[in-house]
């Protein structure tokens, strides 16, 4: 499916020529699964991925829910897309709108995990689900998530993807830790494994964009 871009005010929006039904059928479940995976990692209480550490810390300081901070952070990053000339897609906007509420809903529904076995299970499957979710929504080809967009914006300016991702996630982790977000063995485990699972699921769910 060919894509073009158009300027609306300061933003560059991705425009697609063909129906998006199949892509939406992959995008939305991916975003919902992503929010569920984040909630499982939080409930496991071993520490979670860098951005969620930041959201936890900021939420605690501001007296807001974690899901609300996910939304607010996404909005701020999307605003930055304009000066960075990074294109927005429907997937970018839905990423901001869907993941945060799903995190809050899942945290409200999932019972508190007190014994070790369910906590280990939750943190064990969280990176796998994050990888699957990322494969689904990235493969839909409807635009990157806000945090992924930051990485690609740096890449466009000559920064290697690995360095860009490291800089962004270390910054989010450091800020989150200073704000009181939870850092632990789960943070290390997710940092070492999420990339593998994203790579594993990315190609099987990549839809043709030709």
- pLDDT class for 2, splitting at 50, 70, 90? very low
In a domain, 76, yes or no: yes
Under a CB-based contact definition with an 8 Å cutoff, are residues 68 and 164 in contact? no
Q: What is the mean pLDDT of residues 167-186?
A: 92
Distance of alpha carbon 115 from alpha carbon 125, whole angstroms: 16
Pairing of strands 3-8, 11-16: antiparallel
In a domain, 9, yes or no: no
In a domain, 2, yes or no: no
Q: What's the pLDDT at 34?
A: 96
- pLDDT class for 44, splitting at 50, 70, 90? very high
- pLDDT class for 1, splitting at 50, 70, 90? very low
Domain that holds residue 142: 20-202
In a domain, 80, yes or no: yes
Q: Is the predicted pLDDT of residue 97 greater than 80, yes or no? A: yes
Where b means 16+ CB within 10 Å and e means fewer, 151-178 reads bebbeeeeeeeeebbeebbeebbeebbe
Mean pLDDT of all residues belonging to the chain: 86
In a domain, 15, yes or no: no
- Structurally, how many domains does the chain consist of? 1
In a domain, 3, yes or no: no
In a domain, 146, yes or no: yes
* Proportion of the chain in helix, strand, coil states, percent, rounded to 5: 70, 5, 25
Q: Is the predicted pLDDT of residue 32 greater than 70, yes or no? A: yes
Return the SS3 of 44. Answer: helix
In a domain, 10, yes or no: no
């Amino acid at each position: 499916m060919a894509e073009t871009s158009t300027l609306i005010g300061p933003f560059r929006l991705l425009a697609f020529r063909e129906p998006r039904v199949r892509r939406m059928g992959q995008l939305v479940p991916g975003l919902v699964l992503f929010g569920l995976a984040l909630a499982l990692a939080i409930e496991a209480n071993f520490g979670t991925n860098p951005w969620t550490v930041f959201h936890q810390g900021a939420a605690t300081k501001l007296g807001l829910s974690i899901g609300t901070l996910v939304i607010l952070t996404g909005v701020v990053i999307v605003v930055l897309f304009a000066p960075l000339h990074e294109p927005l897609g429907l997937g970018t906007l839905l990423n901001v709108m869907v993941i945060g509420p799903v995190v809050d809903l899942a945290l409200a529904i999932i019972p508190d995990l007190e014994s070790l076995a369910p906590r280990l299970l939750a943190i064990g499957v969280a990176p796998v689900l994050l990888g699957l979710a990322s494969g689904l929504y990235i493969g839909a080809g409807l635009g990157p998530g806000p945090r992924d967009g930051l990485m690609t914006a740096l890449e466009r300016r000559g920064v290697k993807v690995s360095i860009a991702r490291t800089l962004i996630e270390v910054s989010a982790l450091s800020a989150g830790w200073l704000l009181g977000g939870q850092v632990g063995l789960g943070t290390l485990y997710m940092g070492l494994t999420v990339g593998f699972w994203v790579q594993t699921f990315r190609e099987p769910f990549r839809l043709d964009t030709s």
